[in-house]
């Protein structure tokens, strides 16, 4: 075996097409454009069958040597075929990709694993990011694993359970007033993170291609696992969408798989947002570019972004795959969360159920055919948002029964 050449991958600007000479670059130094990783010799065939999880695909991950992997066993999450809900809805093939099974309970682990591995390879000593919780927990855990310090800027409204999980790993956490509700504060916070990283020689790990093109490559492995698990691409993939990074990564992953002849057709990408915080869906419906919205009027944690950093990237991929975008009222998302728990035994946070809520809407609107093969990305575990989890059983009382009275229980 020859050692991997140093030019295994490079970052290319999507605006001016120049290659970024600095391996630590987060945006194009010449025009400020978005950078995406590209590989000198793409090879999608998993080379080590004994490896489980996403590092099986290391030939398509932007790290020099897989031996450096900062890993907690991320990836290889279940792709569960729906039984009762599919029958109830009249769908023949409905699947749920359970990303809550990752080590810290969300798909963000895939991103943090790649981001921390690359920082280790480059000798970077710290990270900074914004997060409403799931990315923060992933970065905190993988940062601890790598011995890399971190600082996290979060929302005042971030669920306490998510913050508790983050703080357990030791990074500094600051809540920014108005973050998640105001596009000017969102952009200002991103700029503050960038400045902090420049001052300290750290790397931004905000989970968007706009800021962290290396780490985001990790989320492409979701597509590889779905395509490998099914043996082909599904008809459509429903993705909970806030900033647009996850949808973009999954679409790019299927494109890789198609480019290497592993699948013939790419799935339609369906961008699902909360009604009240849906700038990408508005742009899709209006046929224009993504414009920041004035404020967020939705309560679903994890997808509250008024100025989505990867919005245009995601919108372009929705259009390129003949997909579409949907806006779902919060009440329908909570109902879908309950349905997953009651009918499938799947316990997720509300954001992870928004894809199912959109499937139900699209079936009613006859946008889907009973024979369409649908995959919903269930982004995070139900343990992530304890207040929302408690609401699932609100009003249910647990009777206390004496032992001698148990036989009379129905």
Instruction: Kindly list the residues in this chain that would bind Zn ion in the complex (CB under 5 A).
Output: 13, 15-16, 28, 30-31, 33
Residue 27: CB minimum distance to Zn ion, A: 8
Entry field: residues in the chain: 410
Residues 6+ apart with CB under 8 A from 321: 251, 254, 266, 267, 268, 269
Q: How many other C-beta atoms are found inside a 10 Å radius of the C-beta of residue 302? A: 27
Q: Rounded distance, CA 184 to CA 367, Å?
A: 36
Query: Is 9 or 153 the residue whose CB approaches Zn ion more closely?
Result: 9
Closest CA to 259 of 4, 38, 68: 38
Instruction: Report the residue number, 16 or 401, with the smaller CB distance to Zn ion.
Output: 16
CB of 220 to Zn ion, least distance (A): 22
Dihedral sign (CA 276, 280, 283, 287): negative
Minimum distance from residue 130 beta carbon to Zn ion (Å): 24
If the CB atoms of residues 30 and 48 are measured against Zn ion, the closer one turns out to be 30
Instruction: Tell how strand 373-378 and strand 9-13 pair up.
Output: unpaired
Q: Which is nearer to Zn ion, 33 or 309 (CB)?
A: 33
Work out whether the CA dihedral 172, 178, 182, 188 comes out positive or negative.
negative
Distance CA 371, CA 363 (A): 12
- The DSSP output letter for 230 is H
Of 35 and 360, which has the nearer Cβ to Zn ion?
35
Work out how close the CB of 152 gets to Zn ion at its nearest, in angstroms, rounded to a whole number: 29
CA 111, CA 166: separation in Å to the nearest integer?
16
CB atoms within 10 A of CB 164: 12
Quote the least distance from Cβ 11 to Zn ion, whole Å: 10
> 3-state SS of 322-341?
CCEEEEECHHHHHHHHHHHH
Closer residue to Zn ion (CB): 15 or 393: 15
Residues 81 and 342: their CA atoms lie apart, in Å, by 15
> What's CA 74's distance to the chain center, in Å?
13
Nearer to Zn ion, 33 or 267 (CB): 33
CB of 29 to Zn ion, least distance (A): 8
Tell me how far CA of residue 237 lies from CA of 15, 114, 358, 371, in angstroms. 27, 23, 11, 14
Question: Strands 93-98 and 79-81: what pairing?
Answer: antiparallel
In 131-221, DSSP assigns E strands to 149-155, 172-176, 203-204
Residue 343 CB coordination number (10 Å): 16
């Amino acid at each position: 075996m020859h050692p991997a050449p140093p030019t295994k991958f490079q970052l290319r600007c999507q605006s001016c097409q120049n290659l970024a000479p600095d391996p630590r670059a987060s945006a194009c130094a010449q025009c400020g454009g978005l950078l995406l990783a590209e590989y000198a010799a793409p090879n999608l065939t998993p080379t080590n069958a004994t490896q489980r999880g996403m590092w099986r695909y290391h030939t398509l991950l932007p790290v020099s040597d897989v031996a450096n992997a900062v890993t907690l066993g991320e990836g290889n999450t279940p792709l569960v075929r729906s039984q009762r809900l599919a029958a109830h809805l009249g769908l023949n093939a409905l699947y749920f990709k359970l990303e809550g099974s990752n080590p810290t309970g969300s798909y963000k682990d895939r991103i943090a694993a790649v981001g921390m591995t690359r920082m280790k390879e480059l000798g970077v000593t710290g990270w900074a990011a914004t997060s409403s919780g799931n990315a923060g927990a992933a970065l905190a855990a993988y940062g601890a694993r790598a011995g890399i310090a971190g600082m996290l800027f979060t929302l005042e409204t971030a669920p306490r359970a998510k913050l508790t999980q983050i703080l357990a790993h030791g990074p500094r956490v600051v809540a920014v007033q108005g973050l998640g509700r105001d596009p000017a504060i969102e952009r200002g916070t991103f700029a503050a993170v960038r400045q902090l990283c420049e001052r300290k020689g750290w790397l931004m790990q905000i989970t968007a291609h706009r800021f962290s093109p290396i780490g985001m490559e990790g989320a492409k492995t979701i597509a590889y696992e779905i395509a490998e698990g099914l043996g082909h691409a599904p008809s459509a993939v429903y993705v909970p969408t806030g900033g647009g990074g996850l949808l973009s990564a999954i679409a790019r992953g299927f494109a890789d798989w198609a480019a290497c002849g592993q699948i013939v057709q790419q799935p339609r990408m369906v961008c699902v947002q909360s009604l009240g915080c849906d700038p990408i869906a508005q742009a899709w419906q209006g046929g224009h570019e993504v414009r920041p919205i004035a404020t967020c009027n939705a309560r679903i944690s994890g997808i509250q972004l008024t100025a989505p950093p990867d919005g245009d990237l995601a919108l372009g991929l929705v259009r390129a795959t003949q997909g579409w975008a949907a806006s779902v009222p919060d009440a329908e998302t909570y109902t879908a969360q309950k349905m997953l728990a009651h009918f499938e035994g799947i316990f997720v946070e509300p954001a992870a159920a928004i894809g199912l809520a959109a499937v139900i809407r699209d079936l009613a609107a006859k946008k889907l055919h009973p024979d369409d093969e649908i995959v919903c990305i269930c982004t995070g575990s139900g343990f992530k948002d304890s207040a929302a989890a408690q609401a699932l059983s609100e009003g249910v009382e647990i009777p206390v029964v004496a032992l001698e009275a148990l036989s009379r229980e129905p």
